[in-house]
Amino acid sequence: MTTPNPSAPDALARLPEVSRIVQRSPRQIRRDVAACLFPAPLKIGARAIAWRRSDIAAWIASRPAARING
């Protein structure tokens, strides 16, 4: 049996971790999912959801880069 690798692209991340990764509150993530602005989570249990790390990475890559003038 192999040990799950949390850094694998198809590993799953729960909401607190996703919030930390994308620097958005859980509430804002839920709003963005409802507005189809953020990847939808997977239902992994009766009351549990998670996101594929690869979906989060693709969303981050699709965001425009911020410009810092100064």
The secondary structure of 27-56, three-state, reads HHHHHHHHCCCCCCCEEEECCEEEEEHHHH
Helices 15-22 and 26-34, packing angle to 10 deg: 90
Distance between CA atoms of 50 and 2, rounded to whole angstroms? 21
- Per DSSP, 8 falls in state S
Report which of residues 39 and 2 the model is more confident about.
39
Residue 5's pLDDT is what? 62
Q: For the segment 5-58, what is each residue's pLDDT rounded down to a tens digit? A: 656 657 999 999 999 999 999 999 999 999 999 999 999 999 999 999 999 999
pTM for the predicted model, two decimal places:
0.79
**Domain layout of the chain by residue ranges:** 12-61
Report which of residues 25 and 68 the model is more confident about.
25
Report which of residues 15 and 69 the model is more confident about.
15
